[in-house]
Structure 1
C-alpha cells in the first residue's frame, strides 16, 4: 500500500510539472511536443518498475509501426523508447484523465463503427507521417491476453498510400513490425496464472487493473523490432498486414521462448 501511494504521488507530481510545458508546445507547434510524452513515459516506466529489453533495431524517422496489443501499459512502454503518435479508438477520447492525456500526446482517434469515417482517419494518419512522426497502429484492432497474436486488420494501413499520394517528394514510407511481449512479473516468468495481471483486454475494468500494475513491482517486457520495409504507393495493404502479422507472431514466440529458457513458467 505504501508503494502504491508513493508511486501515485510521484506520477501526479510528474504530470503537474510537465503539463504546462506540453500545453505551450502544442499551442505554438513546437518540436518539443514530441519529446515531452517520451520523457514522461520514460519516467513513468521507471517509477512503476518496468524493465524494457529491446531486440532488433528500430528505424529512425517517420514510419508506420504495426504492433500487437496486450495492455494499456503498451502505450507507456513504446513511448518510453521513442517519440511516437498512437492511433486509438474514439471511445478513449472520452475517458476521464486518460483521454485527456492521449490528446496531449497528439493521438489520432478513429471511429471503428463508422466505416465512412475511415477515409478521414487515414488522411490524418498520412498527414502525421508526412509531418515526420512515427505512428503506432495496434493492427489487431483490440487487445489480447498476450498468449497469441490476433489477425492484423489492413484498413488503416491505407494511410501509407495517402501519404505517398499527397507527397511530391517521398516515393516510399517505411513500415516496421513490432512485437510487445511481457515476460516477467515481480521476478517470476509470466505464465498463464500471472498473465492477466499485466494483460488488459475484454471486459476487464481499467482502474483495478491500473492499481494492480502500479503496486506490482518489477515488470519485464521485450520489445522486438522487425525489418523496416520501404513501402511504395503500389503496395498491397492486405499483403503488408499479412507480412507484419507473420513477423510479429515470430518475434512474440521468440520472446516468450527466451523467457521460458530463463526459468520455469
Structure 2
C-alpha cells in the first residue's frame, strides 16, 4: 500500500527489504534505506541476473529478505499481479508469504476510502503531503499474518510457479476481508 508497509512488517520480522534502485537517490529515504540494509535492485531485464545474485547473497548469509512482488504500491484494496523475476532463488530457499491488512485508522475501522487516502501511489501522490498526512495519524492498527511456507519441490521450483503459488496464498488469505 505504501512505505508504511515496510515499517509495519519490519516491526514484526527482522529482515532486509528489496527496493528499486531509484530509491537510493531519494532525499532522506534513500539514506535511511541504505542504513537499514536495503537491497537495491535494477528492474531492467538486462540487470535482473545481477539483482538476483545480490538477493541470493543476502539469503546465503541467512538474512531474511522481504520482496513486494507486485513491484509497485497500490490503493490497498486489492492484490496486484506478481512479477516473477526475483523469485529465481537458491533451491534451499523457502518463501514465507506475509499478509498485511490495515484494520483501523485513528480508532475507526479502515474503509476503502481510508485505504486509498493512506496509500502512496508515487505517480499520483506527492510525497511530502502524504508523509504529513501519515504523521498526523494518531494510531494505525494493522494485522500481519504469517502464512504457510512455500518450499521449492520437484513439482514447483521455477520462478513463475513460485510467484503464482505466493500470489494464490495471499489471495486466499484476503478472502473474507471486507474493504
Is residue 2:88 matched to residue 1:88? no
Of 171, 176, 183, 2:96 maps to 176
**RMSD between superposed Cα atoms in Å:** 1.6
Query: In 1, are the aligned partners of 2:150 and 2:166 still within 8 Å (CA)?
Result: no
Q: Which runs of 5+ in 1 are unaligned?
A: 1-69, 165-171, 261-265
Is residue 2:132 matched to residue 1:132? no
Q: TM-score, normalised by structure 1?
A: 0.63
CA distance in 2, matches of 1:205, 1:126: 34
2:163 maps to what in 1? Answer: 241
CA distance in 2, matches of 1:94, 1:103: 10
Query: In 2, are the aligned partners of 1:182 and 1:198 still within 8 Å (CA)?
Result: no
Q: TM-score, normalised by structure 2?
A: 0.92
Offset of residue 232 of structure 1 = 5.0
Q: Provide the secondary structure at the position in 1 that maps to 2:152.
A: strand
Which runs of structure 1 show a deviation greater than 4 angstroms over 4 or more consecutive aligned residues? none
Q: How does 1:102-251 map to 2 (within 5 A)?
A: 102-112=33-43, 114-158=44-88, 160-161=89-90, 164=91, 172-201=92-121, 202-232=123-153, 235-251=157-173
Deviations 1:120-179 (A, max 9, x none): 000010010010101001000101011110011111111x13xx4xxxxxxx21111111
Count of residues in Structure 1 that have an aligned counterpart in Structure 2: 177
- Higher CA-based Rg: 1
Offset of residue 206 of structure 1 = 1.3
CA distance in 2, matches of 1:231, 1:104: 31
Q: Provide the secondary structure at the position in 1 that maps to 2:119.
A: coil
CA distance in 1, matches of 2:150, 2:114: 35
Q: Which runs of 5+ in 2 are unaligned?
A: none
Offset of residue 82 of structure 1 = 2.0
Deviations 1:19-49 (A, max 9, x none): xxxxxxxxxxxxxxxxxxxxxxxxxxxxxxx
